[in-house]
């Protein structure tokens, strides 16, 4: 049985809209309404944020608030590293998806000699860099930091000074994840620079229609088989991987996503693997939820299923 620990990271510096910092509280309320003690009884560590940076003028337009996000990378990495080395399983509940780069850094800090696989369940590839981004929102860049990728072949921005310094810091000295150890699931809203990288490196990408045609168990088995040479595997779950009719309370909902049932089964089958070392859930934004707290209630249902599956191992 795994000892679970919740790592609470309510940073929303990387998002283009406000409110993801309230995601944990929305989940907590959902757990209470569900009559669950999961979030009460599970040990929790809160990573201090620098969300006050949101009120400061931004001077890095190609990586908005990158200095604060680099600070968060370091803090998140330290928390995840110590959680793992203490023998606990980190369930990271984060604000926007930029935080995932810090989580991956922490896993590699804990296990520098282990080959890390990444399962990225998301509507978006999040493989932009300051060189290629049209928006400057860093929640579209965490996989690029993990892959050590600038994508200067698709450069539209000149990157110097504070932006380059902090971006290089976030990438680290070497890639933390290899392209061949990455699986994208549910990605359906990408831009040309990301498509270029996916094609160039032949990144494995499993579409919503693939899962619908073949079933959740087959997709989970295929994903885990593909990553069989990895020593450990991290799952990043963005709630916008679900259909926009469900994921109303998130910053960038996308049509034609997974149903609740499909998502639940996929997450459970994946987390049955003993190689899973960390699970992260991101981008719950109750300020955008026009169905009261429906997004968080749906997300908590997934979280509860994942936690119960992990505790069986």
| pLDDT for the residue 121 | 98
Distance CA 240, CA 253 (A): 5
Residue 211 has pLDDT above 70, yes or no: yes
| pLDDT for the residue 313 | 65
Q: Which residues 6+ apart lie within 8 Å of 127 measured at CB?
A: 141, 143, 144, 147, 149, 151, 193, 194, 197, 198
Sorted by where each begins, the domain ranges of the chain are 4-311
Strands (E), 122-231: 182-185, 204-206
Q: Which residues 6+ apart lie within 8 Å of 310 measured at CB?
A: 2, 4, 89, 91, 271, 276, 279
- β partners of residue 119: 183, 235
- For tokens 């969300």, the residue is 51
* Torsion of Cα atoms, 149 then 153 then 157 then 159, to 10°: 50
- β partners of residue 117: 233
Question: Model confidence over 157-172: pLDDT tens digits?
Answer: 999 999 999 999 999 9
CATH class of the domain defined by 4-311: alpha beta
Residue 228 has pLDDT above 80, yes or no: yes
| H-helix or E-strand spanning residue 44 | strand 44-46
| pLDDT for the residue 1 | 72
Question: Model confidence over 130-149: pLDDT tens digits?
Answer: 999 999 999 999 999 999 99
Distance CA 138, CA 128 (A): 8
Q: What is the DSSP string of 46-77?
A: EPPP-GGGGGSPP--TTSTTHHHHHHHHHHHH
Residue (of 269, 18, 309) closest to 139 by Cα position: 18
Residue 206 · residue 219 · CB < 8 Å: yes
- For tokens 């000074």, the residue is 161
């Amino acid at each position: 049985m795994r000892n679970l620990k919740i790592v609470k990271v309510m940073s929303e510096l990387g998002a283009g809209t406000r409110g993801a910092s309230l995601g944990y509280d929305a989940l907590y309320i959902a757990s209470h309404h569900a009559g669950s003690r999961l979030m009460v009884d599970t040990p929790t560590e809160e990573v201090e944020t620098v969300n006050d940076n949101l009120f400061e003028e931004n001077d890095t337009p190609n990586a908005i608030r990158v200095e604060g996000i680099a600070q968060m990378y370091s803090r998140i990495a330290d928390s995840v590293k110590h959680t793992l080395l203490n023998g606990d399983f980190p369930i990271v509940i984060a604000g926007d998806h930029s935080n995932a780069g810090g989580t991956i850094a922490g896993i590699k800090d804990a296990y520098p000699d282990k080959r890390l696989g990444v399962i990225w369940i998301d509507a978006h590839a999040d493989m932009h860099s300051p060189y290629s981004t049209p928006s400057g929102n860093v929640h579209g860049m965490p996989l690029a930091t993990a892959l050590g990728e600038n994508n200067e072949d698709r450069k539209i921005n000149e990157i110097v000074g504070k932006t380059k310094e902090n971006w290089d810091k976030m990438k680290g000295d070497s890639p933390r994840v290899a392209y061949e150890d990455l699986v994208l699931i549910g990605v359906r809203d990408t831009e040309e620079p990301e498509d270029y990288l996916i094609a160039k490196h032949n990144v494995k990408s499993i579409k919503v229609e693939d899962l619908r045609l073949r079933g959740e168990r087959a997709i989970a088995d295929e994903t885990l088989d593909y990553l069989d040479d990895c020593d450990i595997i991290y799952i990043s779950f963005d709630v916008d991987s679900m259909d926009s009719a469900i994921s109303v309370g998130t910053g960038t909902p996308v049509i034609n996503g997974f149903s609740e049932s499909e998502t639940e089964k996929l997450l459970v089958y994946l987390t049955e693997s003993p190689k899973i070392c960390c699970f992260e859930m991101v981008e719950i934004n109750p300020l955008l939820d026009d169905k009261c707290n429906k997004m968080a209630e749906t997300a908590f249902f997934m979280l509860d299923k994942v936690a119960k599956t992990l505790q069986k191992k």
